[in-house]
Structure 1
Amino acid sequence: MLTRFFNLVLRAVALAGILFGSAPNAIANPQSYTVTSSDGVRLAVQESGNPDGPAVIFIHGLLGSRLNWDAQVQSARLQRYRIITYDLRGHGLSDKPLGRQSYQDGRRWADDLAAVIRGAHAKKPVLVGWSLGGVVMSNYLAAYGDHEIAGAVYVDGVIELAAGQIVAHPDVYRDMTSSNLRTHLDGERTFLSLCFNHPPDADTFDRLLANAAMASWDMQSAVPSMSVFAVDGLGNARVPLMLIYGQRDSLVDTPLTVARAIRLNPRFTTKVYADSGHAPFMEEPERFNRDLDDFIASTTGHGPR
């Protein structure tokens, strides 16, 4: 009788393993690992969501990290996708090589993204790039083309590091690279404040500020002169493309940047959030997650939510 009971238990456990292991929307525990770029820089990568779902790679902006995407990583709506985030070189838990030369060549940032796609074995991911992440995507497209991705979303993305598209804040950017620690940290705080029309709660802001303070000073001084290949990258892309921008962006001129992006590639669809600043995915996360879900579903054929 006891033997029969244990056999029944073992069969039940095995059946449960089959059912849950093959469930199409099974949610894996978050995992972290590193990939190595072409020049030896190690990049911190994180995954969550449905490991069998379409892959989505989130690329943060200047002074950010994976933490910028918390509202997307934790979204029940987006959990059906394989969510991949990584820290850009010079940021977060990724390597911070010394010297401006490690950051000025836009091809290095493109190679980083290629290393993440390759290291994650991400098949036809959708790319979502915020702010500086837009430059990274454009440089990736110029270097590698679009045959390995399903689509790209520019979120208040920098299309080109051009004076007409970047709102001038010379004092802020000067302070951010100051050798005086107090001045440097005050500059980081001011820059972060400019990211929002509606600031996040105090705990979140403090966490983002601490995150910004981790960023490489060499990287911050080099980024304004980074090479950007938007014409070759965006201009030749044939995959679905989307622009999501905040109308009240204090860092990127939304009308001029959107107009430039569309001139480079008229395939863009555009959504402008009238009440958001530079970070609509944090300021209006439910709306952003819904719009992103719709784009990913239509791009990957994963079906409506």
Structure 2
Amino acid sequence: MPPSSAGPTTTILELPSGIRVGVTQQGGTRAPAVVCLPGWGGSQYLFRHNIPALASAGFRAIAIDLKGHGVSDKPLDTDDYTLDGMVAHVLEVLDALHLEKASLIGQSMAGPIAAQISLTAFERVERLVLLAPVGYGPIRPVSIARVLAPLGVARHLPALATRWMFDLVVKSMYGDLIKPSERDIDEYFAPASDPNFVRALHRLIHHFDWSSFDDGRLRALRVPLLVIRGDSDPIVPLSVLDRFRQDVPGLRVAKIPRAGHLLTEEAPEAVNRAIVDFLSAPNLQPG
């Protein structure tokens, strides 16, 4: 049976730390692994159009719910939601999946996580794809959220996490190509049934390093890099591409017209083409 002929399977993986993580996989176990990391508030659902395409292209495609997200456990220790805490978490997942090496795809907030792994554990990363990545400069919605939801209000936040609010936030991240369906909103809202979901998001807003690239760390990148950005992204400004080019002269860039911040939702076919072409290209130089 070809590796991609069977559909994706979703399981709960218990890590040595005790945290349980939702994992979706498709493709042969001996195929080159590609691990997809959703950003702030996202889940494996974000990659539902990409996992089958990557498997069909000959990869072992894996998407995980980061701790605090989706069906994964939602611990409330502040250290869990720092950049270093999230990097250690993803490395623990790679170990539990027995992946010595994989290509990483990081969306939005997961971009700095995937990039940091590529810097500190570069021997474990084949290639790096960043989708609408944050990491340079202040992120305006994060700055606003820090003011509107200071640390002292954490216990009250679950009561404010209504479906209407999720609908508003998700729609604000789209460009001009399509709009999210009612099912899409339901999927993004579903984890809010656990009050610790919103508390975890709140901890990330306050304790994650959203501007980690500002110190020039990407100049030390030793793996090939592809950055994909939508031309109508309301979160990541166009100027970010210039900063990537300054720090990583050899990077590859794919632009998607009229797409916003949730590229895998808005333009999955274009994203799949760009990723598969990049992952399949021979003899790419680092950066």
TM-score normalized with structure 1 length: 0.78
What's 2:208 paired with?
A: 226
- Unpaired runs of at least 5, structure 2: none
The more displaced of 75-84 and 41-50 is 75-84
Q: Which amino acid aligns with 1:91?
A: H
- The residue type paired with residue 32 of structure 1 is T
Q: How does 1:76-115 map to 2 (within 5 A)?
A: 78=56, 80-103=58-81, 105-115=82-92
Cα drift, residue 106 of structure 1: 1.3
Partner of 2:277: 294
Q: Say whether the 8 Å CA contact 1:30–1:46 is kept in structure 2.
A: yes
Q: What is the rounded CA distance, in whole Å, between the counterparts of 1:233 and 1:82 in structure 2? A: 29
CA RMSD of aligned residues (A): 3.0
> Residue 129 of structure 2 aligns with which residue?
153
Task: Give the Cα–Cα distance (whole angstroms) in 1 for the partners of residues 216 and 118 of structure 2.
Answer: 8
Q: Confirm or deny: 8 A CA contact 2:231 2:259 kept in the other structure.
A: yes
TM-score between both structures, scaled by the size of structure 2? 0.82
CA shift in 2, pair 1:212/1:284, >3 Å? farther
Size of the aligned set, in residue pairs, is 274
CA distance in 1 between counterparts of 2:259 and 2:193 reads 24
1:235: which partner in 2? 219
Cα separation, 1, equivalents of 2:63 and 2:222: 24
Q: Is the 2:71–2:191 contact (alpha carbons within 8 Å) kept by the matching residues of 1? A: no
Equivalent runs, 1:1-305 vs 2, <5 Å? 20=1, 27=6, 30-36=9-15, 40-75=18-53, 78=56, 80-103=58-81, 105-144=82-121, 146-160=122-136, 162-163=137-138, 165-166=139-140, 170=144, 174=148, 179=156, 181=158, 183-185=160-162, 186-197=164-175, 198-211=178-191, 214=194, 216-224=197-205, 225-227=207-209, 229-230=212-213, 231=215, 233-253=217-237, 255-298=238-281
Structure exhibiting the larger radius of gyration computed from Cα positions: 1
Report if the CA contact (8 A) 2:4-2:26 is conserved: no
Shift of 1:184: 2.8
1:4-63 per-position Cα deviation (integer Å, ceiling 9, x unaligned): xxxxxxxxxxxxxxxx4xx676647625241426x5433222211232321110000111
Q: 1:141·1:232 contact (CA, 8 Å) conserved in 2?
A: no
* 1:213, distance to aligned residue in structure 2 (A): 5.7
